[in-house]
């Protein structure tokens, strides 16, 4: 009994001391300085392998705080982004992505939820010391998209260089550089890493592509938006990780009926129209297994599940090993191994 009393007294003293620190000027300054230091720390990736971070798991359909489509692929020598949707720059910041060494961005197609974060990423990597213009790879049409962004943000770049100086923000490094890719084939490679594109099905959007990244015997495939099609699973043959967009009819159908019952204009039609150009969850596990995919994970969720109950419905009838991703889900694929290390957000 005496030990319990002593322990409670110690806890009370510690609590009072902590409260005094938290509510005092000096204590607040100390705590905030330590927090800022941790927030600004961008430790270089020393993980020996392929690291894949979901920096945006949402589609536009559904009320959510999730970011829209964005996948970050990192090795000790490389940093790539695949699509950059709304709010994904915030997730990249939370992931402490060292955007100053961003090598390139790859775009799957030109829906707004896959490109709207590009200007913020371009600015962040320029400010962090990117040594040249940001290369943005995409199928035909990328010149129009990047040309439009560059024109829209021309004044902004000029203001920032005038304010901070050309030595800190060189004007030549500010604009993005579009790179048109073939819809199938190798689009980027060095002696360690290869990025390949392949055609997907997202009609009437054409062209639309997915990407496969191979690095030291490890691989990830990113679908973009697509139905479950042969070209995708051919590209995903024996891949370690497949990140595929996914649509849940178990969630979407009741939403369509509710919108009709409430006479909400337009929305029921839009929700019905998305069914034919996103992969239903039920079409993916068997195809992934037949292709030899080691890990199937869903992202670009249609509709975005807003709560645990909805997530359970989204994954209804799915095999236990299929993953419903959330923002900042991380997959580590060590070199020279078959292991997949999964870090939940």
Edge-to-edge strand ranges of the sheet holding 134-138: 176-180, 134-138, 104-106, 79-82, 70-74, 49-56, 330-334, 341-343
Q: Who has greater pLDDT, 135 or 27?
A: 135
Report whether pLDDT(156) > 60.
yes
**What pLDDT score does 74 carry?**
97
Report whether pLDDT(280) > 90.
yes
Report whether pLDDT(5) > 80.
no
Question: Averaged over 70-94, what is the pLDDT?
Answer: 97
Residue 225: strand, helix, or coil: coil
Report whether pLDDT(14) > 60.
no
Determine contact, residues 96/128, Cβ cutoff 8 Å.
no
Based on its alpha-carbon atoms, the radius of gyration of the chain, rounded to whole angstroms, reads 23
**What's the predicted TM-score (pTM) here?**
0.91
- Give pLDDT tens digits for 313-334: 999 999 999 999 999 999 999 9
Q: Rounded mean pLDDT of the chain?
A: 91
DSSP line for 158-223: HHHHHHH-TTTS-GGGSSEEEEE--SSEEEEE-SSEEEEEEE---TTS-S-EEEEEEETTEEEEE-
Determine contact, residues 330/55, Cβ cutoff 8 Å.
no
**What pLDDT score does 30 carry?**
73
How far is 186 from 195, CA to CA, in rounded Å? 6
**What pLDDT score does 1 carry?**
59
Residue 298: strand, helix, or coil: strand
Question: Averaged over 187-216, what is the pLDDT?
Answer: 97
- Give pLDDT tens digits for 105-133: 999 999 999 999 999 999 999 999 999 99
Report whether pLDDT(34) > 70.
yes
């Amino acid at each position: 009994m005496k030990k319990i009393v002593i322990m409670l007294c110690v806890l009370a003293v510690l609590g009072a001391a902590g409260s005094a620190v938290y509510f005092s000027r000096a204590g607040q300054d100390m705590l905030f300085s330590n927090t800022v230091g941790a927030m600004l720390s961008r430790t270089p990736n020393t993980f020996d392998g392929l690291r894949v971070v979901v920096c945006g798991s949402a589609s536009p359909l559904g009320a959510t705080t999730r970011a829209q489509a964005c996948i970050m692929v990192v090795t000790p020598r490389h940093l790539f982004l695949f699509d950059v949707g709304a709010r994904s720059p915030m997730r990249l910041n939370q992931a402490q992505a060292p955007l100053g060494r961003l090598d390139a961005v790859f775009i799957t197609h030109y829906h707004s939820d896959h490109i709207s974060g590009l200007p913020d990423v371009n600015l962040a990597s320029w400010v962090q010391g990117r040594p040249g213009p940001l290369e943005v790879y995409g199928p035909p049409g990328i010149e129009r998209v990047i040309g439009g962004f560059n024109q829209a943000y021309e004044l902004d770049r000029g203001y920032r260089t005038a304010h901070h100086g050309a030595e800190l923000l060189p004007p030549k490094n500010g604009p993005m550089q579009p790179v048109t890719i073939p819809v199938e084939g190798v689009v980027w490679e060095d002696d360690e890493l290869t990025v390949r594109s392949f055609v997907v099905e997202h009609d009437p959007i054409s062209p639309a592509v997915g990407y496969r990244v191979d690095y030291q015997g490890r691989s990830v495939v990113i679908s973009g938006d697509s139905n479950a099609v042969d070209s995708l699973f051919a590209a995903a043959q024996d891949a370690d990780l497949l990140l595929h967009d996914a649509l849940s009819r178990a969630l979407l159908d009741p939403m369509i009926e509710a919108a009709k019952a409430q006479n909400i204009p337009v929305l029921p039609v839009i929700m019905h129209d998305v069914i034919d150009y996103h992969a239903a969850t039920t079409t993916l596990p068997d195809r992934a297994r037949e292709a030899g995919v080691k890990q199937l994970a869903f992202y670009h969720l249609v509709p975005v599940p807003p709560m645990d109950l909805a997530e359970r419905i989204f994954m209804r009838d799915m095999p236990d090993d299929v993953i419903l991703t959330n923002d900042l889900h991380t997959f580590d694929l060590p070199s020279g191994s078959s292991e997949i290390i999964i870090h939940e957000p």
